[in-house]
Amino acid sequence: MQLTFASYNIHKAVGTDRRRDPDRILAVLREIDADVIALQEADRRIGWRESVLPRETIEDYTPWVPVPLNHRPESLGWHGNALLVRKGIAVIEARVVPLPTLEPRGAVRADLLIEGQRLRVVGMHLDLSGLRRRQQVRTILDHLTRCDGDHPTVLMGDCNEWSLHRGALGEFRAPWQLLTPGPSFPARRPVARLDRLVLCQRWQVEDHGVHHSALAARASDHLPVWGRAILPKK
């Protein structure tokens, strides 16, 4: 089984030209064409916290469907964290993962069924504070240890960590595989490797990178990152 995972902080669909353009974000996602996508900043932060990407547009005009979290009717995710999966992938269950924080942050977890194999995916957006980030990573890992079953797992998101391997990322010890696709922020001239993917040892990583395109350089203040991996048969 070969799958492509992607993570994208869409900045509430506001691009570097200061225009909010949801269709532009969806076009970038089509360029990547990943099987499972973690989005950050997918909802507004005030009021009804409605999604900046119309759910109907996603379901009717893209190859993905949102993972239902059933928390806020108008939201796509939880504190802006949302997951999209390719149509045909079954969602067994989905949960929010509250994180210790002083600002609205969170993570979401979904168990998926693909080709008869149960997989676990986490989307996350970590704090600006280094101490909080470390606490949040520990909270996510603790949550995973309490989940039913030991299934192949992928975590991805905006980690807000400038260090390559230290800080909060030091919590992902072996056998976790920490992928640093490359500079993804700011989108026009990326220098910071803020967006990461973390895979359990069952995955064989084939490739990973940052998605550079003219459209992606305008659509958000982050560039998307992606990873392609194979899950060997048991």
Tokens representing 125 are 């957006």
Is 98 in a helix, a strand, or coil?
A: strand
Tell me, what amino acid is at 233?
K
- The structure's pTM equals 0.95
pLDDT digits (tens, 9 = 90+) for 106-164: 899 999 999 999 999 999 999 987 788 999 999 999 999 999 989 999 999 999 998 87
pLDDT digits (tens, 9 = 90+) for 33-85: 999 999 999 998 776 679 999 999 999 999 999 999 876 778 899 999 999 99
Q: Which domains does the chain have, with CATH numbers?
A: 2-230 (3.60.10.10)
For residue 145, CA distances in Å to 91, 126, 151, 162 come to 20, 19, 11, 27
Ranked by mean pLDDT, the top range of 61-75, 167-181, 210-224 is 210-224
Quote the CA–CA distance of 35 and 3 in Å, as a whole number: 6
Whether the per-residue pLDDT at 234 is higher than 70: the answer is: no
- With beta carbons less than 8 A apart as the criterion, state whether 49 and 72 touch: yes
Partnered with residue 155 across adjacent β-strands are 122, 198
Tokens representing 110 are 């979904």
